[in-house]
Structure 1
């Protein structure tokens, strides 16, 4: 589906789709919301069925269902570092409390994961500013004036933005159980607003949002549509002007959210903007060490040596989710619970994610983001028909890098650069190649961009 529809469409609509089972010619897929279920059935049913039949020839139809949350009302205590057998109380899942969602006066928010608390968050140089700001916002939620409002967290996938949003929500509810906390993804906000419009209840929808104590919005980059953006901007202004806290997370800074209008970008950047950078080796090692201690505490006799942790920290460099997932797999895939995890065993398990033999896969979206940031031009200008020299040259460099670093065809590159003809792409590539033969500065700039994209 990613290859057929492109990265942007895939990330917007298919990122959270999960395969539940294939039974009797029916492929059962689950999604997070009713809005997403209806949208996929209406717009992408035939495409999904086609792909499913390529995987399971006996598939006759596809069924979309809405997943039910399975989270608990209390966040867990910090797992002790000592390796010990868990107590019966810790393993008795039947005694877990009822599930909890954030919400306000009938408006249902997204579920909170009890594992994502400040206690379980590992702090390093790349995220200490975001962590400190999040804790200060959570502790100051009951004060009349918040130190950072709004708080905007941004960074690539898997670096802990969602973790901090959940942690803020848990901390606020622990300090003040009566506080009205609402945690939403941008997709759920859009879903709720569309449903309110259909029910002719948009005014009540907006009034509910404007009366909560703290609003947390995740995946802000997916907020689309001028009407929805306008209403969200009104809600944002109302909350902040009323002294209510707003925390937003996205994959890039407010100034680079090209799908949002300038007024909203300015408002989102009016508080504290904290970047969560790529994890360095030290932080990756600390995360693996903490997760390994938790795994060893849950599995009697399991041992993970520091040598294995160092190996994993060196090889796994993408995100915290990758680190945690592979650490869990290493513990579960050990041939015997009493035998230690070896480097050979760890290498076998993480081979699909090791980057020692293959370069990082570069996407056209990465190229657009890197080029626009390096040359100080708006991404929208790169995709537009503007012919200013300050825009044409970066656009040509982007096309050259797309041909050099990706497997996309010339027509596909042209489509991703503002629906341009493949001959335009070919001209851009030849132009840059010609200029590089005589311009040392241009060669150095392109080498720098290549390193930035591959690192």
Structure 2
């Protein structure tokens, strides 16, 4: 089955008029079932890429469109296609840009084009020029993860929370090959939805445009590539493909698992950094808080520049909303959001950029589906599920250790040491007690963070402080004070 756009037949269809007729029949039936308004708004750009093993692979141009269709019409699409096109049992909806990257498109991955029309594949490869060819070459013998074309420096909104991060990212991403690696490795960390992935993909894009050899990988992709190379018994080719590049960009490093994989990852980091190549990494915590990572890997991260991206301030949230609304208006000119509604959403949703995107999507759905003006009351009802009750501050074990050390006039090194003097033992036990009661860390994890102690030592300290606090009002009040200071 060749590619066809919903509502019209592709003139380059390679499989004849029969397939085109089936697809056209499906288009007409689906238009009748959903109605012209919904069809034009949401399904006009849907395309059928191919059918493999009873699965129809569909594509759309944007993540927003994919999410909306998956949430509202996936079952209807599946049932209608199965009824109209023989042999189709299921559907898969993917992003068109990701499916058509040179050498990684859906048909190329499954070997379908080569089987059906080898000449068409060669023509497509020969037509790949400029930046697309550069991206294909940059992946080397080990293909990297797909980059989102929207994630560039020009589309990254800057505010007080990310000024240092964007400055460091630009210096690394826009430097030419061999220009030096002042910040190496460059490590970004933050909570979800604050722009880490956007920033490191912008670095990858800028590096490619500067003529550098770049590979962008998620931690999952790195693990998959390494395990696959071991199974194929060509791990040396895997290592060489990573160590022969100019810029390695790794996302979601907190998901890197397994001692063997982490060992190889550490060797790759060392090889690249020692040879003057740039490494950029993103995670959801600071290096010291990545309990699952090998100490040598964390030490390498800490040896470079670690930059935390802070929560979005109100001005930055407003900018994100304005940019998102303006982008959607290009496809939906009737989407009108008043300044009062934007101000309300800015104040009510102060978590992250993904929730802001979700809010705009809900406002758009209300406008199109309800067909009513977007009043303040209607907008508040549309985003109600995204308004979160303020959660208590996330307390870090490191913060507990520092505060307790300062409060009792000892050093953090004393608390982590093996000293058994009374002026150190009591603060250490109090810090362990607070770590158990104010964090979600397990006893073994807390023990490791307190100088590699056994979990039974932590349990003894917790029970000891609980018993003493029940009898000593002064200690109980002191613990309450420390908890308030940590929670502010």
TM-score (norm 2): 0.62
Contact 1:134/1:168 (8 A) holds in 2: yes
Could you tell me which of 167, 171, 183 is aligned with 1:132?
167
Residue number in structure 1 paired with 2:391? 360
Residue number in structure 1 paired with 2:482? 445
Residue number in structure 2 paired with 1:398? 435
Contact 2:158/2:316 (8 A) holds in 1: yes
Residue number in structure 1 paired with 2:470? 434
More helix by share: 2
Deviations 1:381-424 (A, max 9, x none): 8xxxxx9655432231233336xxx9xxxxx9779867779997
For structure 1, which runs of at least 5 residues remain unmatched after alignment? 1-27, 31-62, 75-96, 382-386, 407-411
Indicate the structure (1 or 2) with the bigger Cα radius of gyration: 2
Deviations 1:353-394 (A, max 9, x none): 213xx342788xx6657646755879xx8xxxxx96554322
- Distance in 2, matches of 1:190 and 1:330, equals 39
- 2:266 matches 1:233: yes
Residue number in structure 1 paired with 2:125? none
- 2:378 matches 1:345: yes
1:144–1:353 Cα change, 3 Å: same
For structure 2, which runs of at least 5 residues remain unmatched after alignment? 1-54, 58-88, 102-128, 406-411, 417-423, 448-454
- Distance in 2, matches of 1:346 and 1:369, equals 41
Could you tell me which of 181, 185, 191 is aligned with 2:214?
181
The offset of 1:294, in angstroms, is: 1.9
- 2:253 matches 1:220: yes
1:148-167 maps to which residues of 2 (within 5 A)?
148-167=183-202
Contact 1:129/1:274 (8 A) holds in 2: yes
Deviations 1:85-141 (A, max 9, x none): xxxxxxxxxxxx999778633312111111211122111000011011111111103
- Distance in 2, matches of 1:318 and 1:362, equals 13
Residue number in structure 2 paired with 1:263? 296
1:449–1:205 Cα change, 3 Å: same
- 2:360 matches 1:324: no
- 2:285 matches 1:248: no
- 2:71 matches 1:71: no
| Aligned-partner SS, 2:143 | strand
Deviations 1:415-442 (A, max 9, x none): 9867779997984784485388414443
Contact 2:187/2:301 (8 A) holds in 1: yes
1:106–1:430 Cα change, 3 Å: same
1:282–1:445 Cα change, 3 Å: farther
- Distance in 2, matches of 1:262 and 1:414, equals 19
| Aligned-partner SS, 1:157 | coil
Contact 1:102/1:112 (8 A) holds in 2: no
Residue number in structure 2 paired with 1:7? none
The offset of 1:270, in angstroms, is: 2.2
- Distance in 1, matches of 2:219 and 2:151, equals 19
- Distance in 2, matches of 1:368 and 1:206, equals 36
How many correspondences in the alignment? 348
1:237–1:69 Cα change, 3 Å: farther
- Higher relative contact order (CA closer than 8 Å, sequence separation 6+): 1
